[in-house]
Amino acid sequence: SGEMAKLPPLLDNEAFRAYATYATIVLLKMMLMSLVTAYFRITRKAFANPEDTASFGKAENAKKYLRTDPDVERVRRGHLNDLENIVPFLGIGLLYALSGPELSTALLHFRIFAGARTLHTFAYLIPLPQPSRGLSWAVGYSVTISMAYKVLKTALYL
Amino acid sequence: SGEMAKLPPLLDNEAFRAYATYATIVLLKMMLMSLVTAYFRITRKAFANPEDTASFGKAENAKKYLRTDPDVERVRRGHLNDLENIVPFLGIGLLYALSGPELSTALLHFRIFAGARTLHTFAYLIPLPQPSRGLSWAVGYSVTISMAYKVLKTALYL
Amino acid sequence: SGEMAKLPPLLDNEAFRAYATYATIVLLKMMLMSLVTAYFRITRKAFANPEDTASFGKAENAKKYLRTDPDVERVRRGHLNDLENIVPFLGIGLLYALSGPELSTALLHFRIFAGARTLHTFAYLIPLPQPSRGLSWAVGYSVTISMAYKVLKTALYL
- Residue C48 in any domain: the answer is no
Identify residue B94 by its one-letter amino acid code. L
Over range A68-79, report the average pLDDT: 97
A140: phi then psi, degrees, rounded to nearest 5: -60, -40
Considering CB atoms only, which of A3, A17, A90 is closest to B15? A3
CB-based contact B24 C148, cutoff 8 Å: yes
What percentage of chain C carries pLDDT values higher than 70?
A: 94
Helix (H, G, I), strand (E, B) or coil at A106: helix
Q: Is ipTM > 0.95 here?
A: no
- Residue C87 in any domain: the answer is yes
| Residue among C90, C81, C87, C86 at smallest CA distance from C134 | C81
Q: Å from C97 to nearest chain B CA? A: 9
A75-93 pLDDT, tens digit each: 999 999 999 999 999 999 9
C114-130 pLDDT, tens digit each: 999 999 999 999 999 99
Considering CB atoms only, which of B6, B30, B52 is closest to C88? B30
Dist. CA B78–CA B74, nearest whole Å? 6
A86 vs B: CB within 8 A: yes
Over range C82-93, report the average pLDDT: 98
A50-66 pLDDT, tens digit each: 999 988 877 777 889 99
Dist. CA B54–CA B61, nearest whole Å? 9
A110-134 pLDDT, tens digit each: 999 999 999 999 999 999 999 999 9
- Residue A57 in any domain: the answer is no
| pLDDT tier, C63 (very low <50, low <70, confident <90, very high otherwise) | confident
- Residue A143 in any domain: the answer is yes
Over range A13-25, report the average pLDDT: 96
- Residue A56 in any domain: the answer is no
Other residues' Cβ atoms within 10 Å of the Cβ of residue B106: 27
- Residue A110 in any domain: the answer is yes
CATH number at residue A124: 1.20.120.550
Q: Please give the DSSP secondary-structure letter assigned to residue C17.
A: H
Over range A3-7, report the average pLDDT: 41
- Residue B150 in any domain: the answer is yes
A104 vs C: CB within 8 A: no
- Look at residue B9 in the predicted model and tell me its pLDDT: 67
CB-based contact C95 B20, cutoff 8 Å: yes
Residues in chain C closer than 8 A to B103 (CB atoms): none
Cα-only R_g, chain B: 20
Residues in chain A closer than 8 A to B158 (CB atoms): 18, 21
- Residue B55 in any domain: the answer is no
Dist. CA C123–CA C81, nearest whole Å? 12
| pLDDT tier, C23 (very low <50, low <70, confident <90, very high otherwise) | very high
- Look at residue A8 in the predicted model and tell me its pLDDT: 54
CB-based contact A90 B95, cutoff 8 Å: no
Q: Residue A143's domain spans which residues?
A: 14-43+69-155
Dist. CA B82–CA B120, nearest whole Å? 9
Q: Å from C56 to nearest chain B CA? A: 30
Q: How many domains does chain B have?
A: 1
What's the gap between Cα A135 and its chain centre?
Answer: 16
Q: What are the helix (H) ranges across chain A? A: 2-6, 14-43, 59-62, 70-97, 103-125, 132-155
pLDDT in tens, chain B (158 residues): 333 334 456 788 999 999 999 999 999 999 999 999 999 999 999 999 999 998 887 777 788 999 999 999 999 999 999 999 999 999 999 999 999 999 999 999 999 999 999 999 999 999 999 999 999 999 999 999 999 999 999 999 99
